[in-house]
């Protein structure tokens, strides 16, 4: 596997970070999920967060998106110390997230899910109301951009396929992620065409100056778009590597937490 991809990669990140997380710890009762993780994202880069199952990736990005409050550590957003009290705060700051569980409501329509919490309105005063036509149009359009033609914007999310649902979540985050876009295993259920769409989308928004945090278990996907790679293991950072400084094999070993991989090398041809 070569590291050259069709994507343009930003130069080595030297701009000031949009968001900087320092020594983040998160405890759930006696469970230590994060034991001091530092991480930052600069505008226009895709920073991959990699690691084994249970390493703490999802927990970490949840502190970034306001779901969890860190037990210890500081979050600096655009140079100012920030204390997100809720995901809504983070969103208003321009951070949008695709959660691993997608945060979708099965009984509600695609459009209503897409705009949940940030509904477009028309009219003013007490006549201010949900602009359903515009919301439907935007939803269909954004989904089309991701390579999925929905049957209709009023279909309940519960009736979508797993990949379609994931795509709604991604399209929603891309649409609202003005400054930081966090994607927690966004391609886990996607078809090849949709996966390449998502990777291309990451590339597109990165060019627009959005900082992307990309969590994946797939080394190829990470290497295809990543500018920097941070590996978490057992709640700690194993280290950060820039693109080109690390071979896919070394990265894969790090992602496995340094533990032996099952001996299948021969038949899998070295890439997973």
Contacts of 49 (CB under 8 A, 6+ apart): 39, 57, 60, 61, 213, 214, 215, 230, 232
What's the number of CA atoms in the CB half-sphere (13 Å) around residue 122? 5
Q: Please identify, among the stretches 30-38, 52-60, 115-123, 209-217, the one whose residues bind other proteins according to the rule CB under 8 A.
A: 115-123
Under the binding rule (CB under 6 A), the answer on residue 148 touching ligand ATP is no
Contacts of 183 (CB under 8 A, 6+ apart): 97, 98, 170, 173, 198, 202, 212, 213, 214, 215
Least separation in angstroms between CB 261 and ligand ATP? 16
Least separation in angstroms between CB 147 and ligand ATP? 25
Q: Which is nearer to ligand ATP, 49 or 138 (CB)?
A: 49
Under the binding rule (CB under 8 A), the answer on residue 119 touching other proteins is yes
Size of the site for other proteins (CB under 8 A): 41
Interface with ligand ATP in residues 60-99 (CB under 6 A): none
Under the binding rule (CB under 6 A), the answer on residue 59 touching ligand ATP is yes
Structure tokens that stand for 243 in this block: 């693109």
Q: Which is nearer to Mg ion, 10 or 56 (CB)?
A: 56
Print the SS3 string covering 75-111. Answer: EEECCEEECCCCHHHHHHCCEEEECCCCCCCCCCEHH
3-state secondary structure of 149: coil
Under the binding rule (CB under 8 A), the answer on residue 156 touching other proteins is yes
3-state secondary structure of 160: coil
Q: Which is nearer to ligand ATP, 25 or 131 (CB)?
A: 25
For ligand ATP, what does the binding mask look like between residues 92 and 131, x meaning CB under 6 A? --------x-------------------------------
Residues in contact with ligand ATP by CB under 6 A are 28, 31, 33, 51, 53-59, 100
């Amino acid at each position: 596997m070569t590291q050259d991809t069709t994507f343009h990669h930003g130069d080595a990140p030297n701009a000031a970070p949009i968001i900087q997380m320092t020594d983040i710890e998160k405890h759930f009762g006696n469970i230590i999920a994060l034991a001091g993780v530092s991480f930052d994202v600069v505008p226009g880069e895709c920073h991959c967060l990699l690691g084994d199952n249970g390493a703490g990736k999802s927990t970490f990005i949840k502190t970034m998106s306001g779901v969890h409050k860190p037990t210890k550590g500081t979050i600096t957003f655009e140079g100012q110390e920030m204390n997100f009290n809720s995901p809504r705060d983070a969103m208003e700051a321009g951070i949008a997230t695709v959660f691993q569980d997608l945060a979708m409501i099965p009984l509600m329509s695609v459009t209503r899910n897409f705009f949940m919490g940030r509904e477009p309105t028309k009219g003013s005063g007490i006549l201010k109301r949900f602009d359903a036509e515009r919301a439907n149009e935007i939803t269909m359009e954004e989904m089309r951009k991701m390579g999925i033609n929905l049957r209709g914007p009023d279909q309940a999310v519960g009736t979508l396929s797993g990949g379609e649902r994931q795509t709604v979540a991604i399209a929603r985050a891309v649409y609202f992620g003005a400054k930081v876009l966090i994607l927690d295993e966004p391609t886990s259920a996607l078809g090849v065409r949709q996966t390449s769409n998502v990777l291309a989308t990451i590339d597109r928004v990165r060019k627009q100056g959005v900082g992307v945090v990309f969590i994946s278990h797939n080394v190829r996907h990470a290497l295809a778009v990543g500018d920097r790679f941070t590996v978490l293991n057992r709640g700690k950072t194993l280290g950060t590597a820039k693109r080109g400084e690390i071979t896919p094999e070394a990265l894969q070993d790090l992602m496995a937490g340094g533990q032996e991989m099952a001996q299948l090398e021969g038949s899998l041809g070295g890439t997973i």
